[in-house]
Structure formats: C-alpha cells, structure tokens
Chains A and B, each alone.
Chain A
Amino acid sequence: MASNFSIKHQPGFTAIAATCFVVLYLPIIVLVAYAFNAASSTSEWGGFSLRWFQSAYQNTQVIDATLRSFQIGAIAAVLSTIFATMAALATTRTAPYPGLTFKYAAINQPLMVPEIVTGVALLIFFSRIKIFTGYSGLGYLIAAHTAFCIPFAYLPIRARLENMDLTLERAAADLYATPWKTFRRITLPLLWPGILAGLMLAFVISLDDVVITEFVKSGGQDTLPTYMLGQIRRGVTPEINAISTAFLLLSVAIVTLFFFVSRKRD
C-alpha cells in the first residue's frame, strides 16, 4: 500500500495494449475518412463530400448485400455459439471417454481446410440437394457459415471451461438444484465471457467469409464480401467505404446504447 505496487501491473503491457488499440483503429479511421472523399478513387483525397453515402444509398445491390451479410452473420453466430457451448460442456471436465478424441478432431476439422476446398466440396454437395429439393434459399449459406463458425466459437468457450472447476456445480447439485438450474445459475454466468468471446469471433468470421460464400450462394444471394470480390477487377468505389462506415456507426451506436442501458440497470 505504501508504494503504488499493483499486483496486476506488468511493465510495458499497458503501452503494448494502447499501441494495439491505436493500430486496430488507424485503418478504420482511414476507412471512415475516405467515405467522405469527393474523389472517385479510394486513394486520393478530393475534399469533403457526402456523395458516396448518397450513391450507396441508391445502390440497392450493395445495401442488400450488406444486410444479407449481417443477417447470415447474426444467425450463424448465434447457432454456432449455442452448438459450440453444448459441445464444449460435453467435451471438457471429464475423464477421457470413448469418442472424446474423435469429437475434438471433428469439431476442429472445419478449421483445417483451406476455404477454397470446403467451397468446392459444398458446391458439389449442395447443388445436388438444391436440384433434388428445389429449395435454394439462404439456408445453405447459414448452414455452411454455422459449420465453419463452430470451431471458432468452441475454442474460447472450451478454454474458459477448462479453467473452471466443478466445485460450485457439485455444491449446487448437492443442494438438489436441477441440472438445468445449475447450468442457468452457476455454469452460464461463469462461462459468459467465454461465450461472448465465442459469439463475437463467430460473427466476425462469418462477416469475413468470401470464398465459401462465393461457391455456395444462389441467385440474389451476394454478401458484401462476394459483392466486393466481384468489384475488385473493375475498381472498388468509395461506396464500399460509405456503406461500411454507416454500418460501423450503426453498430457502435447500438452497442453503446445497450452498454449504457445495461450499466444503469446494474
């Protein structure tokens, strides 16, 4: 107490973290700045203008693609996080049992394949189903995204679980709490940071995906990345910056709002 000795302090860590945040946000600032660029290239500054917001607003293709990205991302992230949490509960804090190694391998498998390979494999497989059932909706993209998001959601949740011992849960069980109640009241709150990290990762990974989506998508199912991929050959316009900026601001606004609302309630 006499000196300011903090047990949590590690020399240089705060500086590195600060650098990290600056580095993370620098490109985003540039991205946002160029959204207000009057020039039609993403590389030279032509003065302040809102023209790209206007033109993005009128470009239904890019707006649809952006919304679709968020839609698929949100659904796939939630589904994969739920499945990953269940799988993590089933594969941690236990003595080895038959099939455990198989489960590890199976769950992590989507990670180990370059995207292009999964893309081609899914193209062949889903096409058969599309022809057979006549259904060619967003379900395929959601299924594919959920599948490759599971390992991303699973790893942080599992890492968190491995650091949790069973004492509290055993105590709850001793007090005749039902397994569900124990899960809701004890396990879930303790596991929450892991789940949140998993959910975020899954969402981000789904938003990023280009190659698998490119191969799986049917008519009218462009996401923002596949739309951009199609544009690269012929020049990307600052419309992309504008639409990204709009959605960044929107998500930041929503997140901030909920953050303050939930803090006030606490």
Chain B
Amino acid sequence: MASAEEVAKAAERRDVRDRWLLSAPALLVILLAATGPLLIVLVYSFLTPGAYGDVKWQFSPDAWISVFMERDIFDDTLSVAVAHVTIFWRSIKLAVVTTLATLALGFPTAYFMATRSEKTRDLWLFLITIPFWTNLLIRTFAVLQIIRNEGIINTILLKLGIISAPIQILYTDTAILIGMAYVYLPLMVLPIYASMEKLDFRLVEAGYDLYATRFKVLRKIIFPLVKPGVIAGSILVFIPALGAYVTPVVLGGGKNMMLSNLIELQFGQGRNWPLGSALSITVMVIVMLALLAYVRNAGRSGVRHG
C-alpha cells in the first residue's frame, strides 16, 4: 500500500515538473522582455530625477510623496494631490464604462457567431478580426472621420433635418469612449467566443424543457457556462483601456490627461523619471487589486451558479 502511495506521489511530482517545463518558455520570455526590466522602474522610483531626464543615483522618497501629496508651488502648503486623483479617477471611470459597453455589444455578437453552423464560424471569426488588421492609430483616425462635425453621422443627421447644427462629439469624453469601445471590441468578443463555441446546447434545451424563459436560460445557463470567457474579455478590455494613450489624444483632443498621458509627461517633457516610475507602480498595484477582487468575486458567483 505504501508503495502505491509512493507511486502516486512520484507521478504527482512528475506532473508538477512537466507543468513547470511547459510553462517555462512563456515565463522566460516575459521575465526577460517584460517583468524583469520593470525592476528598473521600481528602483528608479526611489531615486532623484536627473537634470534633463533619466535619474541621478541618489536615494530620494520624493517621487512617492508627490504621487499622493502635492506641495503648492505658490503657498508651499502640502495637500492631497488633487490633480493626480482626478486623472486616476477619470481613467478608471472611462475604462469601466468601456468594458461594460464592449460587453453589451460583444456578448451577443459572440453568441451570434458561436451559434452559426460549424463551417461558417471561422468565417465570422475572420470577419470580426479583419477590421483590426489595420493598426490602432489608423482605426482611431477612421473613427475620427465618422464622429467629427463634418463627419458621416453629423452630415446624415443634418441632411435628414433631425438636427440643425452639428453635434460636437469629437473632443469629448464620449468620443474617447466610442473610440475605445471600437478599438477594444475584439478583445471582448474573441475570448467570449472561444468559450461559447463549446457551449453544450443540450443544457439549454434542458432549460427550455423545464419551462425556463429565454432570459432565464441566458442568465442561469448560458452566462455561467461562458463566464471564464467573459472574465478574460473584461480583463483584456479593462486594462488596456485604463492605460490607453493614443485614443484619448486623438479623439479626446488632449485637453484632459489620462493616466498614460500623465506618466508619459514625466518621462517626456516633465523630465521626472522617478515620479513617472512611482506613478506606474501605483497603477500596477491598483490594477492588480482590482483584478484580484474581480476574479475572486466572479469565481465565487460562478461556483454558485455552476
């Protein structure tokens, strides 16, 4: 008996070892070309800004203090960094709304794709990705053409006499929202599609046999089953939206900064790399906390439904 136990243990050890080997390439690439170099950023956040960018190798907590507190340059009082809080809050808000918007559009679209005949599904998959074979900048410029005052929407509405003057969409938060929802939509559709494609419709049938309404079937059967896809999609949209750089500049008119613009300012014209580093780490921590909370929450309710 003891030997059987040993065999099982050895098998388990082998399994764990294999799993490490399998994940090694991904971990290695990420360590070398993404995570590892970030340690530099962590170190930089505790240094003194160099005169014209870069850092001086001299310890200073100033960067971290000025993430949260600001010293008024005129009356020298220390207070909460209102500007930073405002920018963080605006970015988070826009990212959340973008995620919800893409979910509302993306879920039915993924469902539609997944319920096509097996042969045409790949075609739909390609149809949804083709617009994205052009890069983000080009797509953002294309959106700009549509929502600007002389753009298609305003021209049609004017011609139809529905409005008498163009609606100013461009250079508003709505424009940023439209742009981000547009550019990040496939990040929502694809993961949901990937987990929905496998959906066992016998379960749905069973639901109808028990006289469930369509909405109830959707909520109680379909949604819980594709939850991993919804979670993956939400993460893939939320985080890039939070760090969006191009879209706010092109469509929002750049009057109000988002997180990325604030950080970019420190590494660019502001020449305060330590503050840029400290702000970046703050963003990372916020994202990680949000992610943990979200995955925990979603995971728990998933279990309840499943």
Contacts and interface: CB of A to CB of B under 8 A. Distances in A.
B152 interface: yes
Nearest to B42: A121
Nearest to A244: B134
B246 interface: yes
Interface in A91-149: 91, 94, 97-99, 103, 105-118, 120-122, 124-126, 143-144, 146-148
Contacts of A26: 146, 152
B62 to A, nearest CB: 19
A6 to B, nearest CB: 9
A159 B191 contact: yes
Nearest to A200: B129
Contacts of B232: 155-156, 158-159
A207 B259 CA distance: 23
Contacts, number: 322
Contact of B130 (A82, A98, A248): A248
Interface in B259-285: 259-260, 263-264, 267, 273, 276-277, 280, 283-284
A147 B32 contact: yes
A115 B260 contact: yes
Contacts of A69: 135
Most buried by A among B36, B195, B259: B195
Interface residues on A, range: 35 or more
B128 interface: yes
B30 A27 contact: no
Contacts of B228: 158-159, 162-163
Given A23-B182, A43-B148, A106-B31, A197 B193 contact: yes
A244 to B, nearest CB: 5
Given A113-B38, A120-B41, A163 B134 contact: no
B29 to A, nearest CB: 5
A14 B108 CA distance: 7
Nearest to B190: A197
A106 B214 contact: no
A154 interface: yes
A209 B239 CA distance: 15
Interface in B22-44: 22-23, 25-27, 29-38, 40-41
A10 B214 contact: yes
Given A91-B19, A155-B191, A143 B29 contact: yes
22 contacts: A13-B108, A16-B109, A23-B182, A27-B143, A28-B142, A80-B29, A90-B21, A109-B35, A111-B240, A113-B283, A115-B245, A117-B263, A120-B273, A146-B33, A152-B187, A158-B232, A201-B187, A204-B186, A225-B137, A240-B138, A255-B126, A255-B130
The 8 residue pairs across chains A and B that have the minimum distance between CB atoms: A27-B142, A17-B112, A121-B37, A90-B22, A147-B33, A114-B243, A155-B232, A208-B136
Given A156-B195, A204-B186, 9 more contacts: A7-B208, A10-B108, A10-B218, A17-B112, A116-B280, A146-B33, A156-B229, A194-B195, A203-B133
